[in-house]
């Protein structure tokens, strides 16, 4: 089984506008699919791969031009600075969960398999999804399910979780699904459960805060004319990326100078996000929701 099939691989690497002698960052290394394509475009250049998932280290590329940093990409500035690799010519981030993470029951990322209700991308992170389900108060549960999962009956969901956990601790994915199945519509079951697990995953891994930190630091470490390429998979991520690239902030509030020009650290290259074509979606269903945005550092 392949570790992960990279989404929009050729389009994203082309978007970096690679200089063969430049320094590039694959901020979400995973299975190394994007990294291999980047390396194929380099001559004397260097590629830095970040990934906080220890499983990704098994895929490290044996190439003198490649440096692997086993850290969360939210610390990109510190670790690039430590390795004397600032400024860089381009950064690529594929924000999706890898196929490997979804397909390993022990990780708990999918409701299709039974396993520990974990969902941690980094095993050094102490908080698991089970901790959230069994300890968060009703108000906190409502918040994460409504905000991160965009679940309309989040109040009902939170109350059902509390009702079940008061009788028995919920430790596994199947126990959790069984606990909430009575409030889930059969017609929309898969979509609903996907949203629930998405909300838990975002909370466990602090994904949106990490993304914000990453975007801010990317604007600092990129050289003028350097490219930032980001692939997102749900509206919460894409909204943050879109707003930041356009305005330099996450609210999308435009700051204009005296002449009406927008003050932003980036110039947008893709007016509309690029999406996967039907052929790619047929091969890799996870490409269906991918949106690719490219910007250039001013």
Domain boundaries, position 165: 108-205
148-176 pLDDT tens trace: 999 999 999 999 999 999 999 999 999 99
String of DSSP letters for 168-237: S---BHHHHHHHHGGGS-STTHHHHHHHHHHHHHHHHHTHHHHHHHHHHHHHHHEEEEEEEEEEE-SHHH
- Amino acid 5: pLDDT: 76
Shared domain for 178 and 215, answered yes or no, is no
3 domain-assigned: no
4 domain-assigned: no
Shared domain for 67 and 77, answered yes or no, is yes
String of DSSP letters for 5-60: --TTHHHHHHHT---TTSEEEESS-TTSHHHHHHHHH-SS-EEEEE---GGGGGG-
Strand 88-94's sheet: what is its strand order? 66-69, 46-50, 23-26, 88-94, 222-232, 291-297, 266-268
Crossing angle of the two packed helices 207-221 and 189-205, in degrees rounded to 10: 60
d(C-alpha 122, C-alpha 53), whole Å: 5
d(C-alpha 122, C-alpha 92), whole Å: 20
Shared domain for 144 and 215, answered yes or no, is no
d(C-alpha 169, C-alpha 163), whole Å: 11
Give the DSSP H or E segment for 118: none
The residue out of 186, 205, 224 marking a domain boundary is 205
What proportion of the chain, given as a percentage, has pLDDT over 70?
95
Shared domain for 201 and 211, answered yes or no, is no
Confidence class for position 1, pLDDT limits 50, 70, 90: very low
Shared domain for 112 and 200, answered yes or no, is yes
Q: How many domains are there within the chain?
A: 2
Shared domain for 252 and 198, answered yes or no, is no
Q: Are 126 and 142 in contact (CB under 8 A)?
A: no
1 domain-assigned: no
Shared domain for 14 and 130, answered yes or no, is no
- Amino acid 53: pLDDT: 85
Q: Which of 187, 130, 188, 181 is nearest to 157 (CA)?
A: 181
184-242 pLDDT tens trace: 999 999 999 999 999 999 999 999 999 999 999 999 999 999 999 999 999 999 999 99
Q: Which of 276, 203, 267 is nearest to 233 (CA)?
A: 276
The residue out of 205, 227, 251 marking a domain boundary is 205
Residue with tokens 């978007």: 15
Asked if pLDDT for residue 296 goes beyond 70, the answer is yes
The residue out of 181, 205, 229 marking a domain boundary is 205
Shared domain for 27 and 13, answered yes or no, is yes
Q: What is the mean pLDDT of the chain?
A: 92
What proportion of the chain, given as a percentage, has pLDDT over 90?
80
Q: Is 222 exposed, middle or buried (0-12, 13-18, 19+ CB in 10 A)?
A: buried
Q: What share of the chain is helix, strand, coil (3-state, %, to 5)?
A: 45, 15, 40
d(C-alpha 102, C-alpha 107), whole Å: 8
Asked if pLDDT for residue 261 goes beyond 90, the answer is no
What does pTM read for this prediction?
0.92
93-133 pLDDT tens trace: 999 776 556 556 566 567 777 899 999 988 888 799 999 99
Shared domain for 152 and 94, answered yes or no, is no
Shared domain for 116 and 256, answered yes or no, is no
Q: Are 92 and 232 in contact (CB under 8 A)?
A: no
Chain centre distance of CA 37: 20
Shared domain for 117 and 66, answered yes or no, is no
- Amino acid 101: pLDDT: 63
- CATH number of the domain enclosing 90: 3.40.50.150
Q: Are 198 and 148 in contact (CB under 8 A)?
A: yes
132 domain-assigned: yes
- Amino acid 97: pLDDT: 74
Q: Are 246 and 228 in contact (CB under 8 A)?
A: no
Shared domain for 215 and 289, answered yes or no, is yes
């Amino acid at each position: 089984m392949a570790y992960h099939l990279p989404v929009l691989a050729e389009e994203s690497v082309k978007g970096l506008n690679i200089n063969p002698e430049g320094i590039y960052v694959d901020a979400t290394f995973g299975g190394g699919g994007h990294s291999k394509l980047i390396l194929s475009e380099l001559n004397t250049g260097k590629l830095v791969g970040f990934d906080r998932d220890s499983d990704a280290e098994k895929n490290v590329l044996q190439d003198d031009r490649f440096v692997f940093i086993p850290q969360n990409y939210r610390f990109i500035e510190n670790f690039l600075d430590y390795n004397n690799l600032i400024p860089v010519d381009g950064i690529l981030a594929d924000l999706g969960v890898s196929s490997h993470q979804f397909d390993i029951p022990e990780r708990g990322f999918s409701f299709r398999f039974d396993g520990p209700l974990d969902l941690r991308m980094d095993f050094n992170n102490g908080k698991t999804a089970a901790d959230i389900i069994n300890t968060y108060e009703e108000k906190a549960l409502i918040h994460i399910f409504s905000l991160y999962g965009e679940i309309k009956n989040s109040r009902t969901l939170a109350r059902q979780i509390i009702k079940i956990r008061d009788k028995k601790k919920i430790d596994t994915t199947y126990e959790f699904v069984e606990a909430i199945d009575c409030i889930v519509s059969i017609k929309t079951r898969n979509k609903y459960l996907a949203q629930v697990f998405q909300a838990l995953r975002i909370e466990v891994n602090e994904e949106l805060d990490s993304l914000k930190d990453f975007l801010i630091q990317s604007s600092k470490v990129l050289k003028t004319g350097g490219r930032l390429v980001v692939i997102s998979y749900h509206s919460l991520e894409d909204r943050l990326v879109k707003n930041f690239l356009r305005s330099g902030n996450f609210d999308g509030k435009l700051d204009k100078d005296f002449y009406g020009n927008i003050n932003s650290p980036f110039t947008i290259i893709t007016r509309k996000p690029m999406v996967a074509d039907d052929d790619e979606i047929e091969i890799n269903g996870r490409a269906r929701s991918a949106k690719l945005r490219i910007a250039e550092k001013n």
